[in-house]
Amino acid sequence: MGIIKVENIRVYANHGCLKEETIIGSDYRVDVEVKANLKPSSNSDALEDTVDYVFLNNVVREEMAKPSKLLETVAQRILNRFFDEDKLISKATVSVSKINPPIGGDVEMVTIQLSQKRKK
């Protein structure tokens, strides 16, 4: 098994429970870690034998562009797409962070993290 990470994907999106959050939007950070068998690609040097990190980044950007009230919902959509669209992924972890959340305090970010294994 091996691990591929795509870290600190920065996006501007419109998530939140407050109406203002979905109108104004804010900055987010997304971190992705996937586990897959990287032995074939380490021997073949072929992109089709590995998990393409461009694919991972594109899924994150596309799902972050769809407004949701909860970050958990966005993270689960990202995980669903990873497993539906790339059969090499055996486990994935997605962290979604809202930068400077409007929670009445000096808070750098809030983060939710979801992990999931491929169902057999």
Hey, which residues are catalytic here?
Answer: 98
18 burial type by CB count under 10 A (0-12 exposed, 13-18 middle, 19+ buried): exposed
**What is the C-alpha to C-alpha distance for residues 66 and 46, in angstroms, rounded to an integer?**
32
Measure the CA–CA gap between 113 and 97, rounded to whole angstroms: 9
Count other C-beta atoms under 10 Å from residue 53's C-beta.
13
